[in-house]
Amino acid sequence: MKPLLIAACLFFIFLDSRAQNIYDASLIPKELTPYASAVVRDAETTIEVKDMDNVIYHVKKAITVLNHNGDDLARIVIFYNKNITIRSVKGVGYNEYGKPIVKFGEHDFLDESAVGEENLFGDERVKHFIPSITQYPYTIEYEYELRDRQSLTFKPWEPNSNDPWRPDLKYGLAVQNSSFNFICDPDFNIRYKEANVPEKVICSTNHEGKKVYTWQVKNLKALRYEPFSPFIAANEISVRIAPEKFSYYGINGSFNNWQQLGKWEYDKLIKDQETVPPATVQYVKELTAGISDPKLKAKKIYEYMQQKTHYISVQVGIGGFRPFPASEVDLNGYGDCKALVNYTKTLLAAVGIDSYYCVVEAGSPKVSLQHDFASMDQGDHIILCLPLKNDTTWMECTSQRIPFGFLGDFTDDRLVLACTPEGGKLLHTPKYTIDNNLEKRTANFTISESGELDGKMETVFRGVDYEDRESEIGDSRAEQEKGVKKTYPINNMVVKKLVYKQDKGSSPVTTEDISLSAGEYGALVNGKFYFSINSVDRRISVPPRVRNRVNPVRINRGYTDEDEITYTIPKGYHLSSDLLDVKLDKPFGNYTATMTLNGDQLVYKRKFQIRDGMYNKDVYDDMIDFFQAIADADTYNVALVKN
């Protein structure tokens, strides 16, 4: 017995020494595994500014993949281009026990264009790879180096939301250890902006006498998706760095605030791009001759630009920051947002109207430039501002359809940077309020005894809702009809007439006019005649409940829906169900749905409002109850019986 025991002990000691492999998956603290598909075991990102045109990124990372959902979180993705070169890549894959099983290098990576189909051209490329390991959990450890030839922008450090370039993979990543070093000469001044950073930055000097800033995080749980969260989650950590003096692919500059940055952008990137041929100058002068109001002049020119140009993205030249010359847009009739804004601005200048080239972060979530932190990596779109006295007017220059002075939900209600000859200015784009954003529907339907629905319906869209039918308007008639049938859940719908109208005035309005019929809308079941009270504006999807919510509730944009449907019901019937009468009033929204019957006229009225703002996270459950009550009321069935 004894010798056996000894043998077993030896064996265990042997095993034990293996178990001390640092990437053994069992060493991951248990509290980090909930909601995690992968865990960063140890990561260190170092940015070293060797020179203003020589910046080295050194990335080292070990990440354990817990299950197949984590494969994509661990995938190594390296973007590069002509100016950002990959210097070295190598790595090792480990099994569950932390034993190395596979090595890899740059030659294993797939190399692809990173330019979307929608772009005409761009020079961004990507190399990506993940070793194929079939047993979970496994760990990959890798390290690579990039060299960038500019010091104007630095990639932010975002330790628990994975790769900053892939926001789609924001969830499911826990972090054991992660650190970030920024190294530069003592005279290279920086400003930084931290978000949700738990520990203070440590500043030191290294053996070469360089400044070192170090941030570190430990034991972060995985982020989870929570509906109605702020754009940056409450537990999403980031550090952004901006230089004072910099070199941008041969152009030098310095800034400490938006004023100086905007000035540099205007002077170095925009100013020299503002020429068009004399014939075009002459033409716009003729076009606006006789108009004295500068706003009307601008409108005329804007509409000329819209019919002459369209948006095509071309990302060449210096990092996508400098617009193409106005003369090129004039010739080709296309350009990206920078080029089209610069062109419009140039045409306006030709008739003596000043306007501002404005940098904005575009998209439906309202994201402002950070008022207290100027940096070049904020904003991804350009719009034009016409600074008229008491009547500042904004223009989106990439759409041929959008009305003059209308921004829609793409760039509304946020801080943007106007780059002017006097310097940068932060301006706020207009807000479309809960009452501005209105979808108002009026319908008159007749329901026959055989269950056929027949009638017409008019819907008016205002505010950001103005653009709700934009894609349908561009479709062929057959596609429009398909669209309508999807939008309105009325079975057996036959579209008899469908007309869209748009009023592109200062408060633009879209009107949808439909005549329709639908067989079997009402049905005699079990002696009762049933039909849905609301088949035109149903809110049936209720966001899921979330246990242990972390984020406050954020409603990005407020809006109002109003519906009034008058049904003429078949003669000789009376109501068998209770009248619908729902009223809900909450800080974040309100809802009423009522029904009245007068002879054979059944009138249904519905109003729904949701109020934008930031609410305490505890409000979330209340909000789900609110949506559920609405879903119930919206699917109410009318029951009629014969007199």
Partner 1 sequence: MKKILLVLSLFLAALEVSAQDFPYGEVDNNALDMKKYDKDTSAHAVVLREYGTSRIILDNDDYTKVVFEYHVRIKIFDKSEFDKGTIAIPIYNGDNNVYEEIRDITGTTFYKDEKGLEQKAELDPKQVFRTKENKYWTTLKFAMPAVREGCVIEYKYTIYSPHIDNFHSWEFQSDIPKMYSEYQVHIPGFWTYNASLKGSLKLTKNVAEVEHECFTFGTAKADCSHMTYGMSDIPAFVSEEYMTSKKNFISSVNFELVQYQNFQTGATTKYTKEWKDLDYQLKTEFWFGGQLKRKELLKERIAPIIGGMTDSMAKAKAVYAFIQKNIKWNDFYAYGSDDGLKKALDSHTGDVADINLTLVTALNAAGIPTEAVMLSTREHGAINYLYPGLGNFNYVIAKTNIGGKTYLLDATDQLLPFGVLPMRCLNDKGRVFSLDKPSYWIDMNTGQREGTTYTLDLTLSDNGKLKGTFSRYSTGYSAYEMRQEIKKFNTEDEFIENLEGKLDKVKILKSSFDNLDSLNKPLGETYEIEISAFDNLDHNKLVFNPFLFNRMLTNPFKLAERDYPVDWGMPSDERYILTVHLPEQFQVDNPPQNLAFAMPDNGGKFIINYQGDNGLFVFSNVIQFNKSVYGPDEYPYLKELYNKIILSEKNELVFKKKS
Residues in 239-278 that interact with partner 1 by CB under 8 A: none
Closest by Cα among 236, 220, 161, 158 to 28: 220
The residue within the footprint of partner 1, chosen from 204, 205, 256, 332 (CB under 8 A), is: 332
The residue type at 406: F
**Contact window for partner 1 (CB under 8 A) among 204-212, 452-460, 541-549, 550-558:** 541-549
Binding mask 67-86 for partner 1 (x = CB under 8 A): xxx-----------------
**Contact window for partner 1 (CB under 8 A) among 249-257, 540-548, 584-592, 606-614:** 540-548
Per DSSP, the three-state class of 494 is strand
Residue labelled with tokens 């932190």: 373
Closest distance of CB 535 from partner 1, Å: 8
The residue type at 299: K
The residue within the footprint of partner 1, chosen from 86, 92, 234, 624 (CB under 8 A), is: 624
The residue type at 521: Y
How many helices (DSSP H) and strands (DSSP E) are in the chain? 10, 38
Counting contacts by CB under 8 A, is residue 92 touching partner 1? no
The residue within the footprint of partner 1, chosen from 200, 207, 486, 497 (CB under 8 A), is: 486
Site for partner 1 in 163-182 (CB under 8 A): 172
Counting contacts by CB under 8 A, is residue 18 touching partner 1? no
Closest by Cα among 545, 563, 565 to 553: 545
**Contact window for partner 1 (CB under 8 A) among 65-73, 75-83, 342-350, 372-380:** 65-73
Counting contacts by CB under 8 A, is residue 107 touching partner 1? no
CB 189 within 8 A of CB 52: no
Distance CA 86, CA 46 (A): 15
The residue within the footprint of partner 1, chosen from 475, 581, 585, 618 (CB under 8 A), is: 475
How is residue 322 written in tokens?
């400098």
Binding mask 198-237 for partner 1 (x = CB under 8 A): ----------------------------------------
**Contact window for partner 1 (CB under 8 A) among 199-207, 362-370, 525-533, 564-572:** 525-533
Counting contacts by CB under 8 A, is residue 291 touching partner 1? no
Q: What count of other Cβ atoms lies within 10 Å of the Cβ of residue 6?
A: 10
Counting contacts by CB under 8 A, is residue 641 touching partner 1? no
Give 462 or 549: the residue with its C-beta nearer to partner 1: 549
Closest distance of CB 490 from partner 1, Å: 8
The residue within the footprint of partner 1, chosen from 56, 542, 582, 584 (CB under 8 A), is: 542
Binding mask 27-56 for partner 1 (x = CB under 8 A): ------xxxxx-------------------
Number of residues forming the site for partner 1 (CB under 8 A): 73
Q: Cα torsion for 239, 245, 247, 252, to the nearest 10°?
A: 140
Strand partners, 555: 613
**Contact window for partner 1 (CB under 8 A) among 117-125, 195-203, 579-587, 597-605:** 117-125
Quote the DSSP letter at residue 232: S
Residue 622 backbone class (left: φ over 0; alpha: ψ -120 to 50; beta: rest):
alpha
Q: What count of other Cβ atoms lies within 10 Å of the Cβ of residue 308?
A: 15
Distance CA 91, CA 68 (A): 20
The residue within the footprint of partner 1, chosen from 230, 365, 430, 489 (CB under 8 A), is: 489
Strand partners, 436: none
Residue labelled with tokens 């909450």: 586
Closest distance of CB 83 from partner 1, Å: 17
Counting contacts by CB under 8 A, is residue 4 touching partner 1? no
Counting contacts by CB under 8 A, is residue 497 touching partner 1? no
**Contact window for partner 1 (CB under 8 A) among 5-13, 113-121, 210-218, 229-237:** 113-121
Closest distance of CB 625 from partner 1, Å: 8
Counting contacts by CB under 8 A, is residue 585 touching partner 1? no
Site for partner 1 in 388-447 (CB under 8 A): 400-401
CB 40 within 8 A of CB 22: no
Distance CA 486, CA 67 (A): 38
The residue within the footprint of partner 1, chosen from 308, 431, 539, 605 (CB under 8 A), is: 308
Distance CA 104, CA 133 (A): 12
Distance CA 563, CA 634 (A): 11
**Contact window for partner 1 (CB under 8 A) among 263-271, 295-303, 308-316, 409-417:** 308-316
Counting contacts by CB under 8 A, is residue 304 touching partner 1? yes
Distance CA 58, CA 45 (A): 6
Closest distance of CB 304 from partner 1, Å: 7
Distance CA 226, CA 236 (A): 13
The residue within the footprint of partner 1, chosen from 134, 292, 390, 598 (CB under 8 A), is: 134
Site for partner 1 in 342-371 (CB under 8 A): none
b/e map 93-105, b = 16+ CB within 10 Å: bbbbbbeeeeebe
The residue within the footprint of partner 1, chosen from 538, 539, 605, 617 (CB under 8 A), is: 538
**Contact window for partner 1 (CB under 8 A) among 24-32, 120-128, 566-574, 591-599:** 120-128
**Contact window for partner 1 (CB under 8 A) among 14-22, 428-436, 457-465, 521-529:** 521-529
Per DSSP, the three-state class of 264 is helix
Give 114 or 269: the residue with its C-beta nearer to partner 1: 114
Counting contacts by CB under 8 A, is residue 618 touching partner 1? no
| Dihedral sign, Cα of residue 243, residue 250, residue 79, residue 374 | positive
Q: Cα torsion for 613, 619, 621, 622, to the nearest 10°?
A: -90
Alpha helices in 40-110 (DSSP H): 71-74
